[in-house]
Amino acid sequence: MHTSSHAVARLLGDWSSGPGPAHRRLADLIRLLILDGRLPLATAMPGERDLAAVLGISRTTVSTAYATLRDQGYLSARDRARSRTRVPHRQPEAAVDDRDLIDFSHAAPPAPGEALHRAYTSALNQLPRHLPRHGYSPTGLAELRAAIATRYAERGLETTPDQILVTNGAQHAIGLIARTLLRPRDRVVVDHPSYPHALRVFRAAGCRVVPVAVNEDGWDLEILSATMRGAALAYLMPDFHNPTGLCLSEKDRLSLRPQCPIVVDETMAELALDVAPPTPLAAYHSNVITIGSMAKTFWGGLRVGWIRTTPDLVQRLHQARADVDLGTPVVEQLACAELLGGIREILPTRLAGLRRSRAVLLNLVAEHLPDWTVGESHGGLTVWTRFPDPISSALAAVAPQFGVRLAAGPRFGIGGAFERFVRLPYSLDAEAMKTGITGIADAVAAVRSGRRADTPPAALA
């Protein structure tokens, strides 16, 4: 794949201000685009002369930035062909595992340690009855499919176990649906902003991704319906939307007119903080495929999700799955069935904790980032914040110097949108959020004034 200078310029957005020399800012931003997946790996970058002309800067600036990225392992060594994007073999792991940065880039709930321990202990007690069998369960263990079906019924949606396909998390579910139902050049309607990993899947499938705005007023049902016409699929998160935390009202659920099959990602659906738990959209409309996950309700280290649909589509997905993997681990499934069975005991404490954390975060933002506006949210794990200047990518690029990892707003959008937004999770403890928000405030000041961090934080020294 090649990318043009104009495409890179669009992705860079307004990068003219910020700390340090231009070549360093350019390198920082291109690195971020690569790590975010907005510049896919193995993309041939534009030539130096051409990019310089489009950006209106000197060729030396581009050439120095490229040289830095080559040194750091983000561009392939120059040969006859154009430099291609790559990642150095240590960086992404450090990016994921680095415990020294406050991680505001993930929205990951605190793990319910005791409940997890009880669930796995119970799973181990049940294990012997599964040992005589081969252990492959590509549609899912009966115990877990039944527990998931029961939970849907509790939430107001009658469900039979043969409507459930157990997956290795929600992302795996999205991937299987794309494999089974989408073809290159299909139109896929998405919320905008939306979940970055879902956008990746649809782009990787060669689909045309058509965004429909979700703004402070929520969803515009008329535009949504009109856009769905002729689309192959819509991918929506009406239940505590990621990143905004908005929830589609009961009235709007009823009014929505699906014009194509809708995939509803309910990953956040159990985390109702301010409104009554929503009834699943599939209870209002047929032609809805629902995705669920353990990762946000319980813990990201549980890699179990599911798809709820017709028994026929469950079987088609199951057949397609054999090209991807052969099933979900048995013990993991048993533990998740236990956790779902006990969700009514676990949830109230967790929701109360999240409400407290959110209040802490909102206070910190009001105190340290007074010109940031926090969007209304109804639940989930994140708020969507807005600031006056389009500095989101620049901010994410420098944030690690200030001890924080941030996901830039444009990760959640298409074509470089959301440079005035950042998603902030309130799933960290109060101390970490305080350190993180003051770090962000320093980073904002640095971006606005063109400074770099005065002294590297201790963690990076």
Residues 6+ apart with CB under 8 A from 337: 123, 141, 143, 144, 146, 147
The smaller minimum CB distance to a copy of itself, of residues 93 and 367, is found at: 93
Round to whole Å and give the CA distance between 182 and 178.
Answer: 5
Per rule CB under 8 A, is residue 99 in the interface with a copy of itself? yes
The smaller minimum CB distance to a copy of itself, of residues 127 and 223, is found at: 127
Site string for a copy of itself, 396-415 (x = CB under 8 A): --------------------
Per rule CB under 8 A, is residue 251 in the interface with a copy of itself? no
Per rule CB under 8 A, is residue 328 in the interface with a copy of itself? yes
What's the DSSP call for residue 408?
A: B
| Burial group, residue 97, by CB count within 10 angstroms (0-12, 13-18, 19+) | exposed
Taking CB under 8 A as the criterion, the residue among 206, 301, 415, 456 binding a copy of itself is: 301
- Gyration radius of the chain's alpha carbons: 23
Per rule CB under 8 A, is residue 382 in the interface with a copy of itself? no
Site string for a copy of itself, 260-279 (x = CB under 8 A): --------------------
Taking CB under 8 A as the criterion, the residue among 56, 81, 134, 458 binding a copy of itself is: 134
Q: From the CB of 252, what's the least distance to a copy of itself, in Å?
A: 30
The smaller minimum CB distance to a copy of itself, of residues 4 and 310, is found at: 310
Largest CA distance in the chain: 70
Taking CB under 8 A as the criterion, the residue among 84, 86, 208, 448 binding a copy of itself is: 86
Taking CB under 8 A as the criterion, the residue among 108, 347, 351, 374 binding a copy of itself is: 108
Round to whole Å and give the CA distance between 145 and 167.
Answer: 11
Per rule CB under 8 A, is residue 316 in the interface with a copy of itself? yes
Taking CB under 8 A as the criterion, the residue among 303, 350, 358, 405 binding a copy of itself is: 303
Round to whole Å and give the CA distance between 43 and 38.
Answer: 10
The smaller minimum CB distance to a copy of itself, of residues 56 and 132, is found at: 132
Beta-strand ranges (E) seen in 246-301 are 262-265, 288-293
Q: Which helix (H) or strand (E) holds 335?
A: helix 330-341
CA proximity to 328, closest of 165, 176, 132, 86? 165
Per rule CB under 8 A, is residue 318 in the interface with a copy of itself? yes
Residues 6+ apart with CB under 8 A from 82: 2, 44, 45, 46, 47
Residues 6+ apart with CB under 8 A from 5: 46, 47, 50, 51, 53, 54, 55
Per rule CB under 8 A, is residue 94 in the interface with a copy of itself? no
CA proximity to 172, closest of 382, 328, 371? 328
Taking CB under 8 A as the criterion, the residue among 156, 311, 415, 456 binding a copy of itself is: 311
Taking CB under 8 A as the criterion, the residue among 13, 169, 379, 413 binding a copy of itself is: 169
Per rule CB under 8 A, is residue 184 in the interface with a copy of itself? no
Per rule CB under 8 A, is residue 113 in the interface with a copy of itself? yes
Per rule CB under 8 A, is residue 132 in the interface with a copy of itself? yes
Q: Which helix (H) or strand (E) holds 191?
A: strand 187-192
Question: Which of the stretches 45-53, 89-97, 183-191, 258-266 binds a copy of itself when contact is defined by CB under 8 A?
Answer: 89-97
The smaller minimum CB distance to a copy of itself, of residues 205 and 262, is found at: 205
Q: From the CB of 413, what's the least distance to a copy of itself, in Å?
A: 17
Per rule CB under 8 A, is residue 162 in the interface with a copy of itself? yes
Taking CB under 8 A as the criterion, the residue among 74, 104, 120, 421 binding a copy of itself is: 120
Q: From the CB of 454, what's the least distance to a copy of itself, in Å?
A: 30
Per rule CB under 8 A, is residue 436 in the interface with a copy of itself? no
Cβ–Cβ under 8 Å, residues 187 and 207? yes
Inter-CA distances, 131 with 186, 332, 392, Å: 44, 14, 51
3-state secondary structure 26-55: HHHHHHHHHHHCCCCCCCECCCHHHHHHHH
Round to whole Å and give the CA distance between 443 and 404.
Answer: 9
Per rule CB under 8 A, is residue 341 in the interface with a copy of itself? no
Taking CB under 8 A as the criterion, the residue among 1, 96, 352, 459 binding a copy of itself is: 96
Backbone φ and ψ for 254, nearest 5 degrees, come out as -70, -40
Interhelix angle 5-12/22-36, nearest 10 degrees: 90
Interface positions, 203-242, toward a copy of itself (CB under 8 A): 204
The smaller minimum CB distance to a copy of itself, of residues 51 and 340, is found at: 340
